[in-house]
Amino acid sequence: MSNFKNVQPLDDFNWDEFENGTNAGVSKTDLEKAYDETLNKVTEHQVVEGTVISVDKKEVIVNIGYKSDGIIPASEFRYNPDLKVGDKVEVYVENQEDTKGQLVLSHKKARLSKSWERVNAALENEEIIQGYIKCRTKGGMIVDVFGIEAFLPGSQIDVHPIRDYDVFVGKTMEFKVVKINQEFRNVVVSHKALIEQELEQQRKEIIGKLEKGQILEGTVKNITTYGVFVDLGGVDGLIHITDLSWGRVSDPHEVVALDQKINVVILDFDEEKKRIALGLKQLTPHPWDALDPNLKVGDHVKGKVVVMADYGAFVEIAPGVEGLIHVSEMSWSQHLRSANDFMKVGDDVEAVILTLDRAERKMSLGIKQLKADPWECIETKFPIGSKHIAKVRNFTNFGIFVELEEGVDGLIHISDLSWTKKIKHPSEFTSVGATIDVVVLEIDKENRRLSLGHKQLEKNPWDEYETIYTPGSVHKGTIVEMMDKGAVVALAEGGEGFATPKHLTKEDGSMAKKGEELDFKVIEFVKETKRIILSHSRTFEEGKDEPIAKPAHKRGGNGGRKNETPAINNVAAGTSLGDIDALAKLKAQMEGKA
Domains of the chain: 1-111 (2.40.50.140), 126-195 (2.40.50.140), 210-283 (2.40.50.140), 287-370 (2.40.50.140), 378-457 (2.40.50.140), 461-593 (2.40.50.140)
Which sign does the torsion angle of CA 558, 564, 569, 571 carry?
Answer: negative
Mean pLDDT for the stretch of residues 430-452 = 86
DSSP H or E run through 36: helix 28-37
Phi and psi angles of residue 110, each rounded to the nearest 5 degrees, phi first: -65, -40
pLDDT of residue 552: 42
Query: Using 50, 70 and 90 to split pLDDT, how confident is the model at 339?
Result: confident
Over residues 324-353, the mean pLDDT reads 85
CA distance 97 to 246: 79
Tell me the helices (H) and strands (E) count for the chain, helix number first.
8, 30
Rounded to whole angstroms, how far apart are CA atoms 323 and 301?
10
Q: Listing from the earlier edge strand, what are the strands of the sheet with 59-63?
A: 70-73, 59-63, 47-55, 88-95, 104-106
For 309-336, give one letter per residue: b (16+ CB within 10 A) or e.
Answer: eeebbbbbbbebbbbbbebbbbbbbeee
Model confidence band, residue 28 (pLDDT cutoffs 50, 70, 90): low
Mean pLDDT throughout 54-79?
A: 83
Taking alpha carbons only, the member of 70, 59, 66 closest to residue 102 is 70
Is residue 304 helix, strand or coil? strand
Contact 324, 364 (CB under 8 A): yes
Question: Does pLDDT of 352 surpass 50?
Answer: yes
Model pLDDT, residue 207? 75
- Return the minimum-mean-pLDDT range out of 46-50, 320-324, 346-350, 475-479: 46-50
**Exposed, middle or buried, 88 (CB in 10 Å: 0-12/13-18/19+)?**
exposed
Residue-level pLDDT at 16: 62
pLDDT of residue 498: 93
Regarding predicted confidence, which is higher, 51 or 373?
Answer: 51
DSSP state string for 105-126: EEHHHHHHHHHHHHHHHHHHTT
Mean pLDDT of 289-317: 87
> Which is more confidently placed, 487 or 337?
487
- pLDDT for 79 equals 76
| pLDDT surpasses 70 at 87 | yes
Mean pLDDT computed over every residue of the chain: 79
Can you tell me the mean pLDDT for 54-73? 84
Q: Give residue 567's pLDDT band: very low, low, confident or very high (50, 70, 90).
A: very low
Please give the pLDDT value at position 586.
55
Residue pLDDT, tens place only, 366-411: 988 888 788 777 788 888 888 888 888 888 888 989 888 888 888 8
Q: Identify which of 191, 274, 278 has the alpha carbon closest to the alpha carbon of residue 241.
A: 278
Q: Could you report the per-residue pLDDT of 443-498, keeping only the tens digit for each?
A: 888 778 888 988 877 777 877 788 888 898 999 999 999 988 999 998 888 888 99
For residue 20, pLDDT over 60 is answered with no
In the prediction, which pLDDT does 21 show? 53
Closest CA to 155 of 197, 127, 194, 190: 190
Strands 449-453 and 435-444, by their bridges, are: antiparallel
pLDDT at 378: 79
pLDDT for 575 equals 39
The pLDDT of residue 562 is 38
Position with higher pLDDT, 553 vs 200: 200
Q: What is the pLDDT of residues 496-514, one digit of tens each?
A: 899 999 899 888 888 888 9
Give tens-digit pLDDT for 162-192: 778 888 888 888 888 888 888 877 889 988 8
Lowest mean pLDDT among 101-105, 171-175, 550-554: 550-554
pLDDT mean over 91-106: 76
Q: Which of 307, 537, 399 is nearest to 316 (CA)?
A: 307
Cα 335–chain centre separation: 27
What pLDDT, on a 0 to 100 scale, did the predictor assign at position 573? 35
CA-to-CA separations, 534 to 421, 449, 500, 547, 552, in angstroms, rounded? 18, 41, 8, 16, 18
**What pLDDT digit, counting tens, does each position of 237-271 carry?**
899 998 888 878 888 998 899 889 999 998 888 76
User: Of 86-95, 123-132, 390-399, 577-586, which range is least confident?
Assistant: 577-586
CA 37 – CA 568 distance, rounded (Å): 157
8 Å CB contact between 266 and 210: yes
pTM of the model: 0.40
